[in-house]
Amino acid sequence: MDAYTRDQTYAPPGAPAAVVLARDTAEVVTAMVWASEQRVPVVPRGGGTGLAGGATAVDGCLVLSLAKMTAIREIVPQDHLAVVEPGVITADLDRAAREHGLMYAPDPSSHEISTIGGNLATNAGGLRCVKYGVTRDSALGLEVVLAGGQVVRTGGRTVKGVTGYDLTGLFVGSEGTLGVITSATVRLRPAPAEPPSTVLATFGTLAAAGRAASLIMGAGLRPSLLELIDRATLRAIDEWRGIDLDTGTAAVVLAQTDGPECPAGELLRWCEEAGADFAAASTDETESAALLDIRRLAYPAAERLGNCLVEDVCVPRSRLPEMIERIERAAERHGVRILTVAHAGDGNLHPLFVFERGRAGPPPPVQAAADEVFSAAIELGGTLTGEHGVGVLKRPWLDGELGPDTLAVHRRIKEALDPDGLLNPGKAI
Amino acid sequence: MDAYTRDQTYAPPGAPAAVVLARDTAEVVTAMVWASEQRVPVVPRGGGTGLAGGATAVDGCLVLSLAKMTAIREIVPQDHLAVVEPGVITADLDRAAREHGLMYAPDPSSHEISTIGGNLATNAGGLRCVKYGVTRDSALGLEVVLAGGQVVRTGGRTVKGVTGYDLTGLFVGSEGTLGVITSATVRLRPAPAEPPSTVLATFGTLAAAGRAASLIMGAGLRPSLLELIDRATLRAIDEWRGIDLDTGTAAVVLAQTDGPECPAGELLRWCEEAGADFAAASTDETESAALLDIRRLAYPAAERLGNCLVEDVCVPRSRLPEMIERIERAAERHGVRILTVAHAGDGNLHPLFVFERGRAGPPPPVQAAADEVFSAAIELGGTLTGEHGVGVLKRPWLDGELGPDTLAVHRRIKEALDPDGLLNPGKAI
């Protein structure tokens, strides 16, 4: 059972009473009715790739895995939509859509191992958000099993609809605390006709790289991907896989464009304007994929170095360079190793705080540095979590961002939908 | 006080006890605290341009107008956002944004007279939704006064953020039944660099016009506007304003593109493919504005003919031609005059059912035809309301779309946030 108790964090799991591998909505209903009658807490989970401890088991709970519900029930090419079960692997849906000239846009870095259900539960972001939005923006409708076992449907198959409250939006990102998503109608988009152009630029300072991202977005360009990788991360990747890293490189900006509204030449121009040492564009698919792999290797490369506290702060886009500086200062002040990658186009940064493996949680200097980073994000008008969710690991900071009155509204909604507090207790809110 | 009791529908208002014209959040709090202590229902309102009776006064209520809160508190060009009070006229915000090379994308046809607060309360759509999304997609954060007078803040200034539930989405579109929006942080977008190209195509049959819209969207093009106007509407506009309507024209498709990813030539090509009698593109700004005015005149032209029941069905995009046929059949069967305009790119149709002025509500044949249209929309996988909201006028059909279990979830949320049922009672859910 142990494999069903954790996500990808160090958050220590409780001991579940049992694991249910549901194969259809009826089995989810059966599980929820039983749990509700027995007052047993339920921890729903998808691929277990979460980065905030949202799927971590609690003592005595029923772990409810949706990973076996993997059917793509429908693809309706003419309406640009699909109906999927929650256990579908994100990249599998994208591949299925591409057979119809369409794509499923949301692509968290974990897209080859994470599930649509998990993506919906956390409102996952990813590399293409900067152009195509987050998971919420691709969710048209849901089937949800409530705490008592009732099955409700939200939204529908239309791109617009205002009958009743936006329950689809409410369940998306609620981290399994309000209901269990058993099916989703998701938006597909036309796949770009041409292969994307990928731009790589290297910078001698992290601040210059941050400025490049701010200039690109400020100019109103809309790349389909705009990432920043700092020196510490590049080194970790280089040590592991060998990427011929230049010792003078403090940061890399990686951008992609998949449409004529964002010419690659403009992306290059702004990188040079910001002081890039090197900047080049490629339309070769193999080369593009290799460049993107650098970004996708960031987490596994960091995890080779020890346990990681993964922060997920997001700031207004123009504050990105300032936020990067604040992270560097926190690392220095507390003597902590921080690797930073960022969805720079969204102002969403992932500082990875490395600490000794085997510890139950981060040591005090890491906690202190993380506190400082979070406070800086709030001070700059930002948020604690751009796309990973609160889970258990970020709950200590929740009140600092939301404040007691807004948090009280959350608790009233939670109580209205799950009066016995059985759904994923201790998570998200 | 009478002017504050109605919206733009025939829905008969009750007699309010008083009208409050709030000038700031503190006055809204005072009003809500008083109303809560006295158990007086509160009907919030903006510009009073609603099309579903959402702002219609109820007997003994306090009408709470936000129309005097008209400050644009901030425009932050580098972060593409603005902070506004709810009484700001939608088009005024757009004009203010354009001084910074930006735009506020949502543009309901009423944008010169409707307010941001009202747009948010109904999650208003409009002409540019097909490319830029609905009001929800431009709402980053809100300040909301709850039924008891507490002030809460949702969302923030970042383009991503998953701390807690999506309360911004929950309040948007809740038609004043969960709280009173007193400020909003909204997303601005880069204004297109070039003036848009406007395409006008005329068709001998309504079905061919519907097909043109389906072909354009099916091809993955993303025009910034894609409207359809039927013969009855064109005639009403022609009689009023004189637009040299050709007698052979059964419908017009009006499209606009504001970016290189959607060439005007492609729009023309698909219109011709669908059998257009005439199709031409213009980049002249005066001419473009005149063409758009035709669309914006649809409602006032219909209202010259009598009272109007404005339907707002939305279907999956590929079902548009079928939905148009079903509307025509309903009109014939019940001998009712129906004018149809559609945000064709979204599958969102507005059949306007004309009936004799002075009646309290639609006569039985109009009700029967409307019932039939609504049933057809549901049957085709659609919804009762794409962008106008439920208000009072669409409540009879609510249960038919949502079903009792989903409706029960709405009522639990309503009760959690407004236990005494004081906020806009009898509306939306």
CA distance linking residue B290 with residue B357, whole number of Å? 30
DSSP 8-state class, residue B104: -
- Architecture of the B72-190 domain: 2-Layer Sandwich (3.30)
Q: How far is CA B307 from CA A111, B108, B294, B297, B385, in A?
A: 53, 21, 20, 16, 19
DSSP 8-state class, residue A187: E
**Is residue B309 within a helix (H) or strand (E), and if so which, with residue range?**
strand B307-310
CA distance linking residue A340 with residue A361, whole number of Å? 20
- List, in sequence order, every residue forming a beta bridge with A25; answer none if it has no partner: none
Answer for the pair B308, B351: CB distance below 8 angstroms, yes or no.
Answer: no
CATH topology of domain B2-65: 3.30.43
Contacting residues of A for B146, CB less than 8 Å apart: 409
Answer for the pair A142, A242: CB distance below 8 angstroms, yes or no.
Answer: no
CA distance A157 to chain B (A): 6
For residue B119 the two structure tokens come to: 């747009």
CA distance linking residue A240 with residue A252, whole number of Å? 17
Phi, psi of B103 (to 5 degrees): -140, 155
A267-306 residues touching B, CB cutoff 8 A? none
Q: Nearest chain B Cα to A380, which residue?
A: B157
**What interface predicted TM-score (ipTM) does this complex get?**
0.96
Query: Which of A159, A224, A397, A411 should we substitute to test contact with B (largest number of B Cβ atoms within 10 Å)?
Result: A159
CATH topology of domain B197-379: Vanillyl-alcohol Oxidase; Chain A, domain 3 (3.40.462)
- Between strands B189-190 and B180-187, the pairing is unpaired
A162 has a chain B CB within 8 A of its CB = yes
Phi, psi of A60 (to 5 degrees): 75, 10
Give me the pLDDT at residue B34, please.
98
Q: Is the pLDDT of residue B270 over 90?
A: yes
Quick one: CA torsion of A238, A244, A249, A250, rounded to 10 degrees? -10
Q: Quick one: residue A149, left, alpha or beta (phi over 0 = left, psi -120 to 50 = alpha)?
A: left
| CB nearest A314 (choices: B158, B169, B389) | B158
CA distance A36 to chain B (A): 17
Q: How far is CA A44 from CA A21, A175, A332, A418, in A?
A: 10, 9, 39, 14
Contacting residues of B for A394, CB less than 8 Å apart: 163
For residue B205 the two structure tokens come to: 């049959």
CA distance linking residue B383 with residue A347, whole number of Å? 36
Answer for the pair B413, A165: CB distance below 8 angstroms, yes or no.
Answer: yes
| Mean pLDDT over each residue of chain B, to the nearest integer | 95
Contacting residues of A for B395, CB less than 8 Å apart: none
Q: Nearest chain A Cα to B153, which residue?
A: A406
**Is residue A44 within a helix (H) or strand (E), and if so which, with residue range?**
strand A42-45
Q: Nearest chain A Cα to B316, which residue?
A: A158
A400 has a chain B CB within 8 A of its CB = no
CA distance linking residue A311 with residue A374, whole number of Å? 8
pLDDT in tens for each of the 429 residues of chain A? 999 999 999 899 999 999 999 999 999 999 999 999 999 999 999 999 999 999 999 999 999 999 999 999 999 999 999 999 999 999 999 999 999 999 999 999 899 999 999 999 999 999 999 999 999 999 999 999 999 999 999 999 999 999 999 999 999 999 999 999 999 999 999 999 888 999 999 999 998 999 999 999 999 999 999 999 999 999 999 999 988 888 899 999 999 999 999 999 999 999 999 999 999 999 999 999 888 888 988 989 999 999 999 999 999 999 999 999 999 999 999 999 999 999 999 999 999 999 998 887 899 999 999 999 999 999 999 999 999 999 999 999 999 999 999 999 999 999 999 999 999 999 999
B388 has a chain A CB within 8 A of its CB = yes
- Token pair 């230049």 is found at A246
Give me the pLDDT at residue A194, please.
85
CA distance A144 to chain B (A): 10
For residue B416 the two structure tokens come to: 């959690």
B335 has a chain A CB within 8 A of its CB = no
Q: Nearest chain B Cα to A77, which residue?
A: B218
Closest-CA residue to B347 (of B323, B320, B327): B320
3-state class (DSSP) for residue A119: helix
| CB nearest B390 (choices: A78, A163, A314) | A163
Residue A361 CB partners (closer than 8 Å, separation 6+): A10, A12
For residue B89 the two structure tokens come to: 């006229």
B249 has a chain A CB within 8 A of its CB = no
Query: Which of B119, B165, B417 should we substitute to test contact with A (largest number of A Cβ atoms within 10 Å)?
Result: B165
**Residue B207 pLDDT class (50, 70, 90 cuts):** confident
Answer for the pair A147, A418: CB distance below 8 angstroms, yes or no.
Answer: yes
Give me the pLDDT at residue B244, please.
87
How many CB pairs lie under 8 A apart between chains A and B? 238
Give me the pLDDT at residue A359, please.
83
- Token pair 């640009």 is found at A80
Contacting residues of B for A122, CB less than 8 Å apart: 162
CA distance B45 to chain A (A): 18
Contacting residues of A for B181, CB less than 8 Å apart: none
CA distance linking residue A217 with residue A214, whole number of Å? 5
- Does the beta-carbon distance from A157 to B123 stay under 8 Å? no
- Does the beta-carbon distance from A160 to B403 stay under 8 Å? no
Q: What is the pLDDT of residues B161-183, one digit of tens each?
A: 999 999 999 999 999 999 999 99
Give me the pLDDT at residue A371, please.
95
B411 has a chain A CB within 8 A of its CB = no
A358 has a chain B CB within 8 A of its CB = no
Q: Nearest chain B Cα to A394, which residue?
A: B163
Phi, psi of B203 (to 5 degrees): -135, 150
CA distance B335 to chain A (A): 28
Contacting residues of B for A103, CB less than 8 Å apart: none
Query: Which of B143, B163, B388 should we substitute to test contact with A (largest number of A Cβ atoms within 10 Å)?
Result: B163
| CB nearest B158 (choices: A260, A315, A409) | A315
A147 has a chain B CB within 8 A of its CB = no
- Does the beta-carbon distance from B160 to A315 stay under 8 Å? no
Q: For B338-383, give the DSSP string.
A: EEEEEEGGGTEEEEEEEE-TT-SS--HHHHHHHHHHHHHHHHTT-B
For residue A312 the two structure tokens come to: 């997920």
**Is residue B230 within a helix (H) or strand (E), and if so which, with residue range?**
strand B225-230
CA distance B284 to chain A (A): 21
Q: Where are the domains of chain B?
A: 2-65, 72-190, 197-379
Q: What is the pLDDT of residues A53-87, one digit of tens each?
A: 999 999 999 999 999 999 999 999 999 999 999 99
**Is residue B298 within a helix (H) or strand (E), and if so which, with residue range?**
helix B298-303
User: Exposed, middle or buried by CB within 10 Å (0-12, 13-18, 19+), for A216?
Assistant: buried
Q: What is the amino acid identity at position B136?
A: R
- List, in sequence order, every residue forming a beta bridge with B65; answer none if it has no partner: B21, B45
Q: Is the pLDDT of residue B193 over 90?
A: no
A308 has a chain B CB within 8 A of its CB = no
- Does the beta-carbon distance from A415 to B410 stay under 8 Å? no
CA distance linking residue A184 with residue A282, whole number of Å? 36
Query: Hey, how many other C-beta atoms are within 10 angstroms of the C-beta on B265?
Result: 11
Give me the pLDDT at residue A389, please.
97
- Does the beta-carbon distance from A428 to B386 stay under 8 Å? no
Contacting residues of B for A79, CB less than 8 Å apart: 316-319
Q: How far is CA B217 from CA A120, A134, A417, B9, B211, in A?
A: 26, 22, 38, 32, 10
Q: What is the pLDDT of residues B351-362, one digit of tens each?
A: 999 999 888 789
| CB nearest B346 (choices: A153, A159, A428) | A159
CA distance linking residue A209 with residue A352, whole number of Å? 18
Q: How far is CA A157 from CA A82, A99, A410, B134, B346, in A?
A: 9, 21, 28, 16, 11
How long is chain A?
429
Closest-CA residue to B228 (of B253, B203, B207, B201): B253
A60 has a chain B CB within 8 A of its CB = no
B379 has a chain A CB within 8 A of its CB = no
Give me the pLDDT at residue A186, please.
98
| CB nearest B79 (choices: A129, A316, A385) | A316
Q: Nearest chain A Cα to B102, which residue?
A: A220
Q: What is the pLDDT of residues B301-315, one digit of tens each?
A: 999 999 999 999 999
A159 has a chain B CB within 8 A of its CB = yes
User: Exposed, middle or buried by CB within 10 Å (0-12, 13-18, 19+), for A77?
Assistant: middle
Where do the DSSP E strands lie in A300-402?
A: 307-310, 337-343, 348-355
Listed as own residue / partner, the contacts of B5-8 with beta carbons closer than 8 Å and 24 or more positions apart are B5/B56, B5/B57, B5/B63, B6/B48, B6/B55, B6/B56, B6/B57, B7/B45, B7/B48, B7/B49, B7/B50, B7/B51, B7/B52, B7/B53, B7/B54, B7/B55, B7/B56, B7/B391, B8/B48, B8/B49, B8/B50, B8/B51
B166 has a chain A CB within 8 A of its CB = yes
